[in-house]
Structures are given as C-alpha cells and as structure tokens.
Amino acid sequence: MKPIDLRSDTVTQPTAAMRAAMAAAPLGDDVFGDDPSINALQEKVAGLLGFKAALFVPTGTQGNLCAILAHCQRGDEYIVGQMQHCYRWEGGGAAVFGSVQPQPLDHQPDGSLALADIEAAIKPDDPHFARTRLLALENTLGGKVLPLAYLEQATALARSRGLATHLDGARLFNAAVAQAAAKDARPAAGPPQGGTAPSGGSDPHAVGERGGAYLEAWRIARHFDSVSVCFSKGLGAPVGSALCGSKELIARARRIRKMAGGGMRQSGMLAAAAHHALDHQVERLAQDHALAGRLADALQGITGLQVEAPQTNILFVDLVGPARERSAALLEHLARNGVLATGLYRLRFVTHLDVDARGVDRAAAVIRSFFGA
C-alpha cells in the first residue's frame, strides 16, 4: 500500500490540471525578462499581496536570502526568532553569503517574539555593534498563526527604530485561511478593519471578489516591506517561491538572485504551476487544517502522547513520560505500517493535498495500535 506521507506538505505531486497548465504555458527567457508566464505570476502575486513588484525564485530559502541581502549590507544584522527558517534552517546563508549577522531571539509560546526582546536587541549606533537593520518574522511559524495585532505592533516598533521588515510567509496562505475561518466563526465580525484593498496588481478584483483568504493574506502582508511565499508547500506546486516588495527592493533582489544562480530561463512552466495553485489551491488549505484537527482528535487521550491542538496543517505530538523511551520503536512501527512522519520525541505530522480523511484515519489507527489504544 502507498505510504501515508505526513513528513511535510512539500511532498505533493502536481495535479493533472496543474500539469496541463504547465504544459500550456507560453515561455520566454526570464533572464531577459521576457517569459510571459513568469511576468504574469509576478504581477499576480504582487497585486494579491499589495506590493509593487515580485520576483520568482526557485526556493523559499533563496527568497529569504535575496530579501535579507536586499535589505542589509555587510556588517548589518537582522533580528529573527530561534526557530525561524531564515535563521535555523538555511545553512546560515545570510551570514555565509552576505556577511549579515543574525540576532536570534527566543519565541513566546504563541510563536511571536516579545516586543521588549526586539526592542532590547536593537543596537545603538556604536562601532562595537553590527548595525541592526531588519526584523524578520515568520507566519505561520511551526503551523501557528501570529495574531494580526501582534504583526502590526512588531512592525510598527521596527519602523519606529528605522528597521526594515521581512515576513517569511512560506505558509502565509495557511495563516490567511485560518484567519478567515476564525472570522467566519465569529457572527458579528463586521467589515474588515484597517487600510484599503490593494490597487497595484494587474487584477484589481483579485482580492475583493475572491473571498476571505486572499483578503486576509493581504492584511497580513501589508505590514511588511517584503514578503516571501512558497508555492511548493500546501499550495501544491512542484517548485518555486516569490519575494514581494517595492520596485527598488526587488531590483536589488534580482541581482542577488542572479549571483545565487537563481536566474532561470524558460521557467514559465514553473510559474504556470504556481499561478494555477494561487487560483485553485488556496481555499483548499482549509481541508488540510481540518485533517490535522481530525488526526489530533483521534490521538487525544492516549497515555504517553501529548497532542498540541493544531491551528493549521502541522500537528506536533510529544512523547511524554515512559513513552519517550519507546520513541525509536514507535518510529519503526510507523514506518513498517506505511506512515511517514518526522521527529523523535516531538513527532511532526503535516497534512496536505495528497492525504485524505481515510489516510489520516489509517495513520491514527497505526499510532493507536502501537500504544494498544
């Protein structure tokens, strides 16, 4: 039987409709700027998120690298969370390639960085210190949605101290879909608060007419000077991310992408997959969230497991007490029974396009059987 792969939402296969969109994409040479599918995608994502420009990059890692190096010079530093991808999971790229020093901070239980910690980490203008130049946040972080009010406060603080702001929004649309669902659940929510809808994009109706999740994505993104999004996670494209920002920032990012070897040629095929994902696979993320919740529910009450209620598509389950000693045996049991997950004492299960309720139920049954539950 095909394994139930809950290691990551990156494992998905492109759907038949996505493959058809890729095959039909008009192509050009994007290094010359004339791949129509790339240009259409960049305009689309910039417009959706309320930015003037966007840049397609092969990976989220390269998108973050381009962002940090476009915001910072050698000898600058960026404030970042210990668990954020652009600090912990990118091989130290900003330091290695850009001589930009990270200033990591511990996270609060909700995933945020305490405002007081951010404030305290901003260095005075003194030759002893690196120049604090950028605040980088991530949403969702480990599947947690950072509250909108927090994003507003943290970015306002950064701005007031002359820092630029970057959001690693690899799973921005998961955050947006969860935020939209929370709003729908509140009966008297009223009209959206805050600024006006974006007008910069090629499709002025993109946000208003297409419902809650797109609007919420824009409401998150508008607090930042730059935002990166991944198409190859829950959105189900095979490859690619986009970095959004001002025209000037994206021009600098384009030079860095070239230096990093990310200037691609007939990459419109990849852009077409991303475009298809943006059109057809955003609202669908709600199903992934429901499935993560379903798995969490099925694992409640097993002695030795501590289940953290998932906010989006990532479920963490801690082994506690004597069960910790059985961790290796549990992973072996899972693998033997066709359930793939990551972690050791803290297991991570990620739901996505290529798992359904039956798969989740089977995974739950395999886990329960290990504990005799």
Ligand X SMILES: *Cc1c(COP(=O)(O)O)cnc(C)c1O
Closest CB 44 distance from ligand X, rounded Å: 19
Query: By CB under 6 A, is residue 220 in contact with ligand X?
Result: no
Q: How many CB atoms lie within 10 A of CB 251?
A: 13
Per rule CB under 6 A, is residue 143 in the interface with ligand X?
no
Pairing of the two strands 76-81 and 101-105: parallel
Nearest approach, Cβ of residue 309 and ligand X (Å)? 20
Residue partners of 176: CB distance under 8 A and separation at least 6: 212, 213, 214, 216, 217, 220, 282
Q: How far is the CB of 294 from ligand X (least distance, A)?
A: 22
| Residue closer to ligand X, measured from CB, 82 or 369 | 82
Taking CB under 6 A as the rule, does residue 59 contact ligand X? yes
Rule CB under 6 A: say whether 165 interacts with ligand X: no
Which of these, 72, 84, 64, lies nearest to 133 by C-alpha position? 72
# residues contacting ligand X (CB under 6 A): 12
Which two three-digit tokens encode residue 293? 């919740």
Q: Which of 5, 138, 216, 288 binds ligand X (CB under 6 A)?
A: 138
178 or 298: CB nearest ligand X: 178
Report the alpha-carbon distance of residue 38 to residue 50 in Å, rounded. Answer: 18
Q: Which of 61, 226, 281, 311 binds ligand X (CB under 6 A)?
A: 61
168 lines the binding site for ligand X (CB under 6 A): yes
How much is the CA Rg of the chain, to the nearest whole Å? 21
Dihedral sign of CA atoms 51, 53, 57, 63 in order: negative
Shortest Å, Cβ 160 to ligand X: 26
In this chain, which stretch among 57-65, 208-216, 244-252, 358-366 interacts with ligand X, using CB under 6 A? Answer: 57-65
Q: Select 21 or 170, whichever has its Cβ closest to ligand X.
A: 170
**241 or 287: whose CB is closer to ligand X?**
241
Would you say 301 and 71 are in contact if contact means Cβ atoms under 8 Å apart?
Answer: no
Contact flag: residue 100 with ligand X (CB under 6 A): no
Q: How far is the CB of 239 from ligand X (least distance, A)?
A: 8
Q: Is 170 in the site for ligand X (CB under 6 A)?
A: yes
For ligand X, the binding residue among 4, 18, 40, 85 (CB under 6 A) is 85
Assign 79 to helix, strand or coil: strand
The closest of 2, 21, 12 to 353, measured between CA atoms, is 12
Vertex 240: Cα angle to 235 and 244 (nearest 5):
90
Q: How far is the CB of 232 from ligand X (least distance, A)?
A: 6
**Nearer residue to ligand X within complex by CB, 57 or 250:** 57
Please count the helices (runs of H) and the strands (runs of E) in the chain: 15, 12
Cα distance between residue 178 and residue 200, in whole Å? 25
CB of 304 to ligand X, least distance (A): 28
Site for ligand X (CB under 6 A): which residue of 230, 278, 291, 339?
230
Instruction: Quickly tell me which residue has 């010359």 as its tokens.
Output: 32
Stretch touching ligand X by CB under 6 A, among 194-202, 227-235, 310-318, 321-329: 227-235
- Interstrand relation of 53-57 and 241-245 (parallel, antiparallel or unpaired): antiparallel
Closest CA to 18 of 239, 337, 216: 239
First to last CA, the chain: 23
Choice between 95 and 197, CB closer to ligand X: 95
For ligand X, give the closer residue by CB, 133 or 233: 233
Q: How far is CA 199 from the centre of its chain?
A: 24
Residues that bind ligand X (CB under 6 A): 59-61, 64, 85, 138, 168, 170, 230, 232-233, 241
